[in-house]
């Protein structure tokens, strides 16, 4: 399998493979996150959108952040009192400062930070110059870290930070060195930060998505027959026999950010359908 074929597998499931769990999350209210305030970046689509929907369903108030104002506004429909929409880019310091200011003005302190915003791009090693490296690290690593740093004075005791990494830190694929390295750096950072913030009563963990059907890979542009072949090959390696959906990550995020996970510190939970052990 080529690197280009592989990275398409996560998007192809949107049309070629029916995910094992892909419903819109507008279900009856439960209260695992009642009374909590969460900040979610990259919330306009895919995993971030699913987390936002699920957190609302679990009783949280949320501040959602992304560049797509229209998509963010859809999250707030019917939940205006519990949703704050802030548009911006995680690589822009002024945008992050505005996110912190507007969130704390609206909700006061916060309980959960999920710096989910991220990008993935295939870059052969020969083309991995400083600009190419910075392009992905600026969003995936620096943007995530600075989001958390900005909110640090406002995270209440008992709060939680959840980074979004990737199962690709455990396997190697040509062309994805920069992307994988940016997420590996985030994984290592989260483990060290967990030890640093523990005295403040703030838990830090990571969730590592595996093959998940999200729109992030929609611009790859491979022919439909190639995408179908890749999807079939990868599905055969997955224990459930199907790609996961964003809701699988959202469910894990709810658990890790809830009081039920109060004894989980500095861990990365891999949600990959068994891909890395297949």
Q: Is 179 a known active-site residue?
A: yes
DSSP letter for 17, please. Answer: S
Which strands make up the sheet holding 83-87, listed edge to edge? 83-87, 61-66, 37-41, 110-114, 155-164, 203-209, 268-271
| Token couple for 227 | 């995408």
Q: Which residues of 86-103 are buried (b: 16+ CB within 10 A; e: fewer)?
A: bbbbbbeeebbebbbebb
Q: Which of 55, 137, 179, 217 is catalytic?
A: 179
The whole-angstrom separation of Cα 156 and Cα 137 is 28
Instruction: Identify the three-state secondary structure at position 140.
Output: helix
Residues 90, 64: Cα–Cα separation, whole Å = 12
Give the residue among 16, 70, 8 at the shortest CA–CA distance from 45: 70
Residues annotated catalytic, as ranges? 179
């Amino acid at each position: 399998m080529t690197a280009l074929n592989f990275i398409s597998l996560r998007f192809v499931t949107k049309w070629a493979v029916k995910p094992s769990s892909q419903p819109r999350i507008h279900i009856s209210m439960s209260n695992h996150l009642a009374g909590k305030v969460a900040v979610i970046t990259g919330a306009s689509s895919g995993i971030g959108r699913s987390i936002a929907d699920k957190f609302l369903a679990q009783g949280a108030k949320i501040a959602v952040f992304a560049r797509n104002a229209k998509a963010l506004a859809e999250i707030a429909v019917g939940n205006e009192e519990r949703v704050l929409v802030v548009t911006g880019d995680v690589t822009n310091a002024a945008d992050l400062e505005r996110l912190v200011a507007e969130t704390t003005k609206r909700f006061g302190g916060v309980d959960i930070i999920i710096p989910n915003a991220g990008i993935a791009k295939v870059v052969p090693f020969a083309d991995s110059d400083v600009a190419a490296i910075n392009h992905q690290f600026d969003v995936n690593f620096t943007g995530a870290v600075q989001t958390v740093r900005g909110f640090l004075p406002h995270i209440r005791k008992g709060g939680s930070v959840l980074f979004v990494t990737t199962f690709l830190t455990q396997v190697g694929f040509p062309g994805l060195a920069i992307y994988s390295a940016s997420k590996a750096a985030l994984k290592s950072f989260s483990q060290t930060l967990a030890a640093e913030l523990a005295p403040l009563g703030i838990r830090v963990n990571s969730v590592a998505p595996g093959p998940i059907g999200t729109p992030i890979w929609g611009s790859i542009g491979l022919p439909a027959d190639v995408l179908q072949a890749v999807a079939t090959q990868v599905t055969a390696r997955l224990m459930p026999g199907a790609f996961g959906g964003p809701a699988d990550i959202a469910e894990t995020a709810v658990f890790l950010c809830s009081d039920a996970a109060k004894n989980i510190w500095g861990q990365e939970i891999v949600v990959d359908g068994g891909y890395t052990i297949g």
